[in-house]
Amino acid sequence: MLLTIDHVQKTYPGGRPVLKDVSLVLDHGQTLALTGESGSGKSTLLHLAAALDGFDGGEITLDGTPLSGLEDAGRAALRRQTLSLVFQQFNLIPSLTVAQNLSIHAQIAGRHDPEWEAHLAQHLGLGDLLDRFPENLSGGQQQRVAIGRAMATRPALLLADEPTGNLDETASATVLDLMLGLVADTGTALLLVTHSLDIAARLDRRAHLSGGQVT
Amino acid sequence: MTATVIRTLLSHWRSHRLQLITLLTGIALATGLWSAVQAINTEARASYARASAQLALGQFDEIQNSDGFIPIETYVALRRDGWQVAAVLDGTLRIKGRSVRIMGVDMVSYPALPAVTEAEQSQAPPDPADILTDPGRLLMTADLAMLFDGAEGFPPVLTSTALPPDLVLTDIGVAERLLDRPGQISRLVILPDQPQGRTPLADLAPELLRSSPSAQTDTAQLTDSFHLNLAAFGLLSFAVGLFIVHGTVGLAFAQRRGIIRTLRALGVPMHRLIWLILTELVLLALIGGLIGLLIGFFLAGALLPDVAATLRGLYGAPVEGQLSLRPAWVASGLAMAVGGTLAASGHALWKLSQMPLLSGAGLQAWGNAAAHRVMGGVGLLLLVGAGLIYLSAQGLLAGFAMLGALLTGAALLLPLVLSALLAVLGRHAKGPISTWVWADMRAQLPGLSLALMALLLALAANIGVGTMVSSFRLTFLGWLDQRLTSELYFSAEDAEQAALITDWLNPQVDAILPIRNTELSHETGPLFLYGVVDDQTYREKWPLIARSPDAWDRVMQGEAILINEQLARRADLWPGDILHLTSLQSRVIAGVYSDYGNPTGQAIVSMRQLDVLAPDTPPALRFGIRLPEVRAAEMAQKLRDQFDLPTQAVIRQHALKAQSVAIFEKTFVVTSALNVLTLGVAGFAILTSLLTLWTQRLPQVAPVWALGLTRRHLAGLELLRSLLLAALTAVLALPLGLILAWVLLAVINVQAFGWRLPMFLFPGDWLRLFALTLVAAALAAALPALRLMRLPPVHLLRVFANER
């Protein structure tokens, strides 16, 4: 199993429990949509799975590595080698060009592959935008760069947090199509947080988070 | 991974070039001003060390006579007993209106002198006998030799590169003749390899004192206070420059939070990021530091001649006016640049290292109100600390520690005080725009506070140092009027000529006041004892700052003595106390007089008492002449014509005053230059803060623009905001500056120079400074305001697009 979330609990500072007892599994190549109301803990769960934050109980195992015992360096290594992230806010580096943003994660992970990155750029429709800076791109274009950056490392797991949340309908559909297409082509597992049932319906499985538990 | 992260981090500067320039400029200015001061101090100290080595000073034990000069008979007795000593006669000679130090040594027994060796190894070496036998030779630098060019009555001159400026080295026999001090010896140098079985000095000559090199007062010790003052000013300039660094790095780090967060999400460990950012800061500090060293080198080169003139004038310190590049200076300048940059960035870096991965990427954390409250608390503690130092500690270092605590504490308190002031003023605002302007000003304080703190320090330093210098000038001018009361001053070539002139003058003038003195030793250092004739001039004009009843009567009756303020403070002697002049003689102190610009102790007795206390005192060669002012010019010319005196031998009072004032002005050239430069740096800090902040202003300005205010109107309000904040800071700087002036006058000056000055207030200067501050703030705000006025609406609309 690629990702195992086993009875995980998480309480925010101040004592508000956000995840009470969450368990999930995701195998290689599978896609899973995580839905729920605002504040239900979807993004929190995704952050825990991405080793971005710690949890208070239970265990998360990623590609055989339990996350609970890892220090910052170990968590960072997992983010370099095993998974990639796509955020709602794109989170591109504003001072780097599109081409540099596309390759940055792969270079950090030591998997820089110019041919693969060029293919991704073409596939995502970024071929003519490579020398531009993020501030000169539309939201849809920026999210396509973010997806390219994430897929450039050929990750085992792609974690996407509301990737179309900031986009209009047309851009949203394009971005989703491209992302799901790339995931399918490369056999990458996908855990996608969304509040849209339509988007969730396009993935293999669906889990709904409510009251801090998967229902 | 590392190369990618470095490229990504550096890419921030590519898109924030102004910020990079600001950062480098801040480091360069801080390092430049500090390095300039260090270069001056290092050069001066190197000159002192060189002079000591060139004259073999401070290497051997010495023998001196607290009663004045060592008689030749005592020297002969010591030599006969087997003491290996070399005689030295020191003195000052005036030539063409300039004082030149004469050092006459026993050329046969004195340790090898580099200047003599150089002369002997030159292409045309003098016959050694020429140096030792009449008329002898004078060794001096080529510059000084020009002064002797054409002067009559002097032995031939040999030039040397191995001598301090303004010093003539010669055989003691020649010095005796030039100084008219036959048979007198200032000190005896005890040579190494003394024979066994000598009679102890205490038995042979109990009046003589032996001192080790460490106990001998040298130039470096005398000038320590001056250099400490300079170093303190350099440190203040450095601190003001670091405010720019602190502000810029803080903003840059806040803007980079997004990049840092993304890099961490992409798998870069935090510790590696911190190390890389630290390396980046060190590299930037080295680049800025190198630029700063260049600035410092040229600045020091420009200021050194004036400082050298000041040190020569004040302390007789041999400082050459040329600067040389020293590796230690470069290394210390770079170390200060790196250390300062890291210190100024430490807080921002620490905050970054503690930043949770999932924290926001905004600028909220940059200079927030909570941080200001903590700063305010620390500031208050520092002010209390300054008060405690004043109450409990003494000494120059304690004085500077108090100043440091006072200035830093006030600067740290500034944001809180400004915020409170703005809140109070905002309550009286009428109308929505006015209300918004006051509220917006408070909201902008965190971003501008560092620049305003720098401005506060620079203004306070300006007011403080300006008040000190102006108070000093006013006091000094008044004091000159009291001290230089004679309408004419003349110098005779010898005692015979002096007698002829005074006989000729006597029936034509109101009074002739001889200027006659000798040098004694006191536990506090050299003591110059002056004899004065009884004249109403002294009784009416002499600037006594403390006196007992009938002070002058008692002095003239030979019962009492007057001492200068320096001696009074150093030895803690005041009217009624006893001053021990020699081993057998002491006098009651009748009064203390101010004596600015003189580093050594001085005392005044009646002329008759001078002969009793120091019978070897040479006759007076300089005189003051009292006569009606309208006759001064005519009498000066008559005197020159009658005795064929050179122009400089007869000087009118106003010319002497002008010379003294010129020396005074030179003393403060370096202080004034540093003062102006520090203010310039603070002005630059405001400019850079406003320029770096102006993009962050758009979210505040855009909604108001959308509500119907024109960009021109908004730009005007931006200008007004900067002017108001600068004006409020300037108003707050006034009391701080006055406290600073008081500390400088009442604490630092007393410790450093031995005199306390009255404090005068100069509201005209404050108004000028206030106007200058407003102009600087307006200039600094003009560029961002102009940018706002010309900003295309699309940029303002982007604010709303981003918010969507």
Which of B39, B17, B238 has the alpha carbon at shortest distance from B682? B238
This complex has an ipTM of 0.82
Six token digits for residue B517:
């003195």
B193 in the same domain as B179: yes
Question: Measured between CB atoms, which of B4, B16, B270 is closest to A108?
Answer: B4
* pLDDT, mean of residues A127-156: 91
Cβ proximity of B188 and B86 under 8 Å: yes
Chain A residues in contact with B355 (beta carbon < 8 A): none
| Structure confidence at residue B361 (pLDDT) | 47
Mean pLDDT of chain B: 82
Chain A nearest-CA residue for B271: A73
Chain B residues in contact with A92 (beta carbon < 8 A): 262
Give A49 to chain B, closest Cα distance, Å: 12
Cα B377 to Cα B187: distance, rounded to the nearest angstrom = 58
Cβ proximity of B724 and B731 under 8 Å: no
Residues 6+ apart with CB under 8 A from B507: none
B778 in the same domain as B666: yes
Cα B529 to Cα B533: distance, rounded to the nearest angstrom = 14
Give B281 to chain A, closest Cα distance, Å: 18
pLDDT digits (tens, 9 = 90+) for B378-423: 999 999 999 998 888 777 778 888 888 998 899 999 999 999 999 8
Range of the domain at A193: 30-40+74-214
| Structure confidence at residue B625 (pLDDT) | 92
Is the Cβ pair A107, B4 closer than 8 Å? yes
- Whether residue B130 lies inside any domain: the answer is yes
pLDDT of B364 higher than 50: no
Among B196, B215, B234, the domain boundary falls at B215
| Structure confidence at residue B366 (pLDDT) | 45
Cβ proximity of B370 and B377 under 8 Å: no
Cα A141 to Cα A102: distance, rounded to the nearest angstrom = 12
- Whether residue B232 lies inside any domain: the answer is no
pLDDT digits (tens, 9 = 90+) for A31-82: 999 999 888 888 889 989 998 888 999 999 999 999 998 888 888 899 989 9
Is the Cβ pair A110, B357 closer than 8 Å? no
B208 in the same domain as B152: yes
Chain A residues in contact with B265 (beta carbon < 8 A): 50, 52, 79, 85, 87, 91
- Whether residue A197 lies inside any domain: the answer is yes
- Whether residue B249 lies inside any domain: the answer is no
B12 in the same domain as B149: no
Angle (nearest 5°) at CA B482 between B501 and B630: 55
* pLDDT, mean of residues B185-192: 84
Question: Measured between CB atoms, which of A47, A105, A110 is closest to B266?
Answer: A105
Among B322, B342, B363, the domain boundary falls at B363
* pLDDT, mean of residues A89-115: 89
pLDDT of B119 higher than 60: yes
Give the total number of structural domains in chain B: 4
B753 in the same domain as B672: yes
Is the Cβ pair A80, B263 closer than 8 Å? no
Identify the top-confidence range among B93-102, B111-120, B292-301, B457-466: B292-301
Residue A31 pairs with which residues in a beta bridge? A190
B705's enclosing H/E stretch is helix B669-706
| Structure confidence at residue B363 (pLDDT) | 47
- Whether residue B509 lies inside any domain: the answer is yes
Range of the domain at B301: 1-57+268-363
* Residues B56/B58/B60/B61 CA torsion (nearest 10 deg): 140
- Whether residue A159 lies inside any domain: the answer is yes
- DSSP alpha helix (H) spans, B96-141: 114-120, 128-132
B754 in the same domain as B700: yes
pLDDT digits (tens, 9 = 90+) for B487-515: 888 888 888 899 999 999 989 999 999 98
- Whether residue B778 lies inside any domain: the answer is yes
Question: Measured between CB atoms, which of B11, B269, B357 is closest to A95?
Answer: B11
pLDDT of B70 higher than 50: yes
B355 in the same domain as B372: no
Is the Cβ pair B8, A93 closer than 8 Å? yes
pLDDT digits (tens, 9 = 90+) for B146-170: 888 877 778 888 888 878 877 888 8
- Whether residue B644 lies inside any domain: the answer is no
| Structure confidence at residue B365 (pLDDT) | 43
B589 in the same domain as B563: yes
Residues 6+ apart with CB under 8 A from B376: B412, B413, B415, B416
pLDDT digits (tens, 9 = 90+) for A152-161: 999 999 999 9
pLDDT of B667 higher than 70: no
B388 in the same domain as B534: no
Task: Give the confidence band of B682 by pLDDT, cuts at 50, 70, 90.
Answer: confident
Is the Cβ pair B1, A72 closer than 8 Å? no
Question: Measured between CB atoms, which of A53, A76, A87 is closest to B267?
Answer: A76
Six token digits for residue A31:
């896609």
Is the Cβ pair B271, A72 closer than 8 Å? yes
What's A139's domain CATH number?
A: 3.40.50.300
Question: Measured between CB atoms, which of A92, A95, A107 is closest to B14?
Answer: A95
- Whether residue A53 lies inside any domain: the answer is no
pLDDT of B320 higher than 80: no
- Whether residue B45 lies inside any domain: the answer is yes
B211 in the same domain as B65: yes
- Whether residue A95 lies inside any domain: the answer is yes
Interface test with A, best of B10, B13, B262 (most A CBs within 10 A): B262
Chain A residues in contact with B263 (beta carbon < 8 A): 93, 108
- Whether residue B251 lies inside any domain: the answer is no
- Whether residue A205 lies inside any domain: the answer is yes
Question: Measured between CB atoms, which of A79, A91, A93 is closest to B267?
Answer: A79
- Using a CB–CB cut-off of 8 Å, the residues of A that contact B are 47, 50, 52-53, 72-73, 76-81, 85, 87, 91-96, 100, 104-105, 107-110, 133
- Whether residue A19 lies inside any domain: the answer is no
Cα B742 to Cα B7: distance, rounded to the nearest angstrom = 52
Interface test with B, best of A44, A67, A104 (most B CBs within 10 A): A104
Question: Measured between CB atoms, which of A53, A93, A108 is closest to B358?
Answer: A53
| Structure confidence at residue B213 (pLDDT) | 66
Among B329, B363, B397, the domain boundary falls at B363
B786 in the same domain as B709: yes
Which of B26, B17, B768 has the alpha carbon at shortest distance from B451? B26
Is the Cβ pair A108, B267 closer than 8 Å? yes
Chain A residues in contact with B269 (beta carbon < 8 A): 72-73, 76-77
* pLDDT, mean of residues A198-215: 89
Chain B residues in contact with A94 (beta carbon < 8 A): 15, 258-259
B18 in the same domain as B81: no
What order of strands is seen across the sheet that includes strand B138-140?
A: B157-159, B138-140, B167-171, B98-105, B85-95, B187-190, B62-65, B208-211
Chain B residues in contact with A79 (beta carbon < 8 A): 265-267
Is the Cβ pair A95, B15 closer than 8 Å? yes
Is the Cβ pair A76, B269 closer than 8 Å? yes
